[in-house]
Amino acid sequence: MPSASAAPVRAACASLLRAVPDRLGSHGPRRRPVTGDPTRTAAWGDPAVTLRCGVPLPDQTVTPLVIDGFPLVTEERGGQVTYTTSDRGVNAQVVVPKAYADQGYLVLALLPALKQLPAPTAAPGA
């Protein structure tokens, strides 16, 4: 995976952030300003559902959860569930507080944008 500061990662993250919706679902939380890097992060609601782009690959030994045909590695920690893309050239992570009863629907609202992340490039000679 390229460095998080590499031009292809910056371009993919900028494209992703342009593609994310202003609202997660028809009645879900609305997009809000972020405290982190606005070229790599987005947030919705309070408590915040957050998206970070340009993250490392998740643990590849974990079987991904497949939502609408798209694999996401999930991890529950504390009061949140983290969903991380596992098959993209640039990966993104969505963190959903457990306070939201409809976590899957919130992630589902982001899938069209996440699916636009570039596919991994094959290693030379592969």
Q: Is the pLDDT confidence value at 1 over 50?
A: no
C-alpha to C-alpha distance for 80 and 73, rounded to whole angstroms: 14
Is residue 81 within 8 Å of residue 95, measured between CB atoms? yes
pLDDT band of 45, cuts 50, 70, 90 = very high
The mean pLDDT value of the chain amounts to: 90
C-alpha to C-alpha distance for 22 and 20, rounded to whole angstroms: 7
C-alpha to C-alpha distance for 50 and 29, rounded to whole angstroms: 11
Residues 6+ apart with CB under 8 A from 112: 19
Each residue of 55-101: pLDDT tens digit?
998 888 999 999 999 999 999 999 999 999 988 999 999 999 999 98
Architecture of 7-114 per CATH? 3-Layer(aba) Sandwich (3.40)
| Confidence (pLDDT) at 33 | 94
Maximum CA pair distance of the chain?
Answer: 48
Query: How many Å from the N-terminal Cα to the C-terminal Cα in the chain?
Result: 15
Q: Is the pLDDT confidence value at 124 over 80?
A: no
**Domain spans, the chain:** 7-114
**Location of structure tokens 């609305």:** 30
